[in-house]
Amino acid sequence: MPTPDTFWTYSSAISVYLVVLAVPGGLIGWAAGLRGWALAGLTPLLTYTATGLAGPWLALVGLPYNVGTAAAFTVLLAGAAYGVRAFGLRRGWVPTEALADRPPLPWTKRAHVAVAACVVLATVLSIIVVLSASGGPNAVFQRWDTVFHANGIRYIADTGDGSLTGMGTINWYPDGSFYPNAYHLVGALVYNLSGATIPATLNAITVPVAGIFALSMVAMIRQFGGRAVFAGSVAIVAGAATTGAYESVSSGLLPFALGIVLTPLAAVALQRYLVRPAVDTGMVLALSAVGLLCAHSSALFGAMLFAFPMVVQRWIRREGKVGQDVLRMLPVMAASGVLAALQVLGAVGFTSSAYPYTPWASNIEVAEALNQLLKFRQILNQPQLWLAGLLVIGILSFVTLGRMRWIAASAVILSAMFVLVACYGGVSWVITLSRPWWNDRYRLMALAAIPLCLLAGHGLAEIQRWLSKAVSHWSWVRDNPRVPARLGLASAVLVLITMGVVTQGFYTQANATAVAFLYHNGPESKDREQPISAYELEAMAVLKKLGVGPDERVLNDRVDGSAWVYAITGIKPTAGHYDTGVPPKDAEYLANHFREFDTDPEVRAAVKRLNIHRVFLGHGSIKPYMHRAPGIRDLDGLDFLRRDYANPNAVIYTIIK
């Protein structure tokens, strides 16, 4: 269901997000000595580092998080990065010409432009997919976790509280609940700067997700000296593969999807540091690790699994020594720990809290799990066969990856993790091993998709190499001195066009079908009501006009669309999430006994404690098996309530006693 945003408001939200994504991280990266594709790739990650640190640390010292304080924190962090690097240069700890960590294979200017064009194309594909799926740029997300993220962005924007528990107070009051909030802190800036609604802000942040994925992949390939054709091919695959960026978005796992698309950058920062250990490269590695942790708690674990084969390959090839590399990592780990102390302590506290960890206990067949990996599909019935073919070619020709052969080992490790969780998810040790990913095979599939996309892109690049080599032997090519120089570009363009044709536009329609589940516009909800409808949004607008105070809460049902009322209006509900885990005692009691207002003094006491004067009920349910709580059913006709407004899907009552 759409919210009232104009085309220009939504366009400004996208533009603002791109600026917010580029400026803080770009400034910090430049100050730390990053240049070229490394700077371009690491910029989004460093932006999330800056915002993810700013919110909690500002809250700790009693300062609000807003555009001004976020900018000041960014300047402070950039200044520190510049100062550390300058100090290292003066002391001789940083080489004046730091060439060792630069890519060994030069690209021509034409190659740089061509690869950039592929990243742009991947971004365009991402925009087409998301907007085609949503039915509009201001459509409301309908999946489970999205209401929590929407309310979190609104909370930070309205209150300036950037703490790691603050936004959780919308549902888990009064103390809140830990959640890494870099995603929401960036969203709050976009919301405040653009003037868009929360749904439009969420859409704006989601639109370029596959483009960021492509940029991260390209930066990694460039850092390891890969061919430009390989980089461009992987960028296209990143924009086409369902299991890469799109599936996590489809499930509403928005910060997790962010962590996935930023994960390849861990290899960039780690390789730079191991090849040239110095204060500047170590600082970038520390900031990158912190950024992944701030984006999502599992992102750092996933990045470690992804990049570990690269370190092992380094040891096997005797490019480094185990003990020496481990010792060099200690100061980086210490610096990361200090910077992210609030995140680390919060995560440890949350793990030991009363919040339940319920495994999904998936038990599909091993053959089916391998089939899903190979064909880049999990939530769709239609396999991406052309990508599967490219993956097979990439696997068979992995020896030509050179310094990047470790990607094959990474694919084996992460694919094995997916198979374990997908097929043996109920086994106790698998449950423990997969806790960072909530024992969720969909999350592990997205993680495995990173090296699989790289291998598929390698397959596409190999086809271009074979084609170019075959054509180069033609007599008319050898006889024309101008042709060989242009043969590489021409063959790459031909392969790209062919790929676009055979995949019907790089699988945009299939990916749009997958992402549509985020909006409940797809087959998954064909015969079900959406949790939040246009009628409920209309009722929320009416509720806002009734003058609900900032210290009041509105009694609502946990399972219907009313959980969105805070994100849409700024009015606090008693239930701000569909999640039934450890709800506030008063909210739970009222959900079960509110009808007994006249006869139960505890109901009246809970209403008073929460300062409730109105009731807002929507229609439908987030899950078919979740039904309205007994205490808020059939409220019409009760003498302590006055019905102030109703439409086909929503009703508003006022407590008159």
pLDDT at residue 467 greater than cutoff 90 = no
Residue among 493, 492, 501 at smallest CA distance from 465: 492
Contacts of 499 (CB under 8 A, 6+ apart): 236, 386, 460, 506
pLDDT (0 to 100) of residue 92? 80
pLDDT of residue 382: 87
Coil, helix or strand at residue 651: strand
Provide the percentage of residues in the chain whose pLDDT is more than 90: 76
553-593 pLDDT tens trace: 999 999 888 999 999 999 999 999 998 888 899 999 999 99
Tell whether the model's pLDDT for residue 479 goes beyond 70: no
Higher pLDDT, 108 or 622: 108
- Give the separation between CA 9 and CA 138, rounded to whole angstroms: 10
Q: Which residue has the higher pLDDT, 481 or 555?
A: 555
For residue 445, what pLDDT band results from cuts at 50, 70 and 90? very high
Encode 532-546 in three state secondary structure: CCHHHHHHHHHHHHC
Distances in Å between the Cα of 276 and the Cα atoms of 127, 154, 221, 270 are 38, 43, 18, 10
What pLDDT is attached to residue 231? 97
Confidence of residue 623 (pLDDT cuts 50, 70, 90): confident
- Cα–Cα distance between 89 and 11 in angstroms, integer? 43
pLDDT at 241 over 60: yes
Q: What is the pLDDT of the chain when averaged over all its residues?
A: 91
Tokens of 463: 């086809």
Residue with the bigger pLDDT between 634 and 59: it is 59
pLDDT in tens, 32-66: 999 999 999 999 999 999 999 999 999 999 999 99
pLDDT of 125 strictly over 90: yes
pLDDT at 482: 59
**Which whole number is the average pLDDT over 24-29?**
97
Residues 640, 597: contact at Cβ < 8 Å? Answer: yes
- Between 89 and 192, the higher pLDDT residue: 192
Which band of pLDDT confidence, cut at 50, 70 and 90, is reported for residue 472? Answer: low
What pLDDT score was predicted for residue 518?
A: 87
pLDDT at 624 over 80: no
SS (H, E, C) 404-463: HCHHHHHHHHHHHHHHHHHHHCCCHHHHHHCHHHCCCHHHHHHHHHHHHHHHHHHHHHHH
Q: Quick check: 646 pLDDT over 80?
A: yes
The 10s digit of each residue's pLDDT in 535-555 is 999 999 999 999 898 899 999
Q: What is the pTM of this model?
A: 0.94
Q: What is the pLDDT of residue 474?
A: 62
Distance CA 550, CA 487 (A): 66
Question: pLDDT band at 414, cuts 50/70/90?
Answer: very high
Question: For 61-118, how does the pLDDT look when each residue is reduced to its tens digit (9 = 90+)?
Answer: 999 999 999 999 999 999 999 999 998 888 887 776 555 566 777 899 999 999 999 9
